[in-house]
Structure 1
Amino acid sequence: MINADTILFVLMLVTGVNMLRYLTALRSLIHIMREAHPLLYQQVDGGGFFTTHGNVTKQVRLYYYLKSKEYHHHHDPVFTGKCDRVRELFILCTSLLGVTLFAAIIL
C-alpha cells in the first residue's frame, strides 16, 4: 500500500517542477515581450518584474492580459505562442497547487 506521506511528497514534487516550468516560461515571455510588444513590456514593469522592488499592480496587468487572451490580436506568432504556453502553465500550476493543498488537508 502507498503511504499518504509518499503521495503528498510526490504531489509537492510535481507541483514544484511545474512551478519552475511556469516561472521559466514567464521569464522567457518577458524577454520576448521586450521586442515584440514594447508598450506592454513597460506597462507590466518588464525590467523590474522579477525584482524585489517590482510594482505588483503593474504585474497584475500581465495576468489580466493573459486571462482575457488579448494577445490573439498580436502579429508575432512566437509571442502569441509563448503567451498561450504561459497561460496554460499558470492554469496547470494553480490547479496542482489546489490539489496539493487539498491533499495536505485531507491526508
Structure 2
Amino acid sequence: MGPAVELWKEREMDKTRKKYEKVSEKIRLWGDKKKKKAKRKLHRTERGVEKAKMKAKQRFIDDNERIEIIVASARTHAYESQMKEELKVKEKANLMRTTGQSQCTCL
C-alpha cells in the first residue's frame, strides 16, 4: 500500500501544482493587461495635457497680440488727441496775442 499511496500523492501534488500554475499565469496575465491599460491611459492623459498646454500657450500669444494692437491704437488715438488739444491752445494763444485780450473766466 505504501507505494500506491506515494504514487497517488505525487499525482495529486502534480495536479495541484499545475492548477495553481495556471491560476498564477492567469493572475500574471491579468496584472500585465491592467498595467498596459493604465500605461495607455497615462499616455493618453499626457497627450491631452500637452494639447491643453499648447492651446493655452497659443491663446496667451493670441491675447498678447490682440492687446498689443489695442494698446498701439489707443496710444495713437491719445497722441492725436493731445496734438489737437495743443493745436487749439496754440491757436487761442495766437488769437489772444493778435487781439490783445486775455481769456476771460466768468465767476
TM-score bracket relative to the smaller structure: 0.3 to 0.5
TM-score w.r.t. the length of structure 2 is: 0.34
Larger radius of gyration: 2
TM-score w.r.t. the length of structure 1 is: 0.34
Ranked by relative contact order (alpha carbons within 8 Å, sequence separation 6 or more), the top structure is 1
Which protein is richer in helix relative to its size?
A: 2
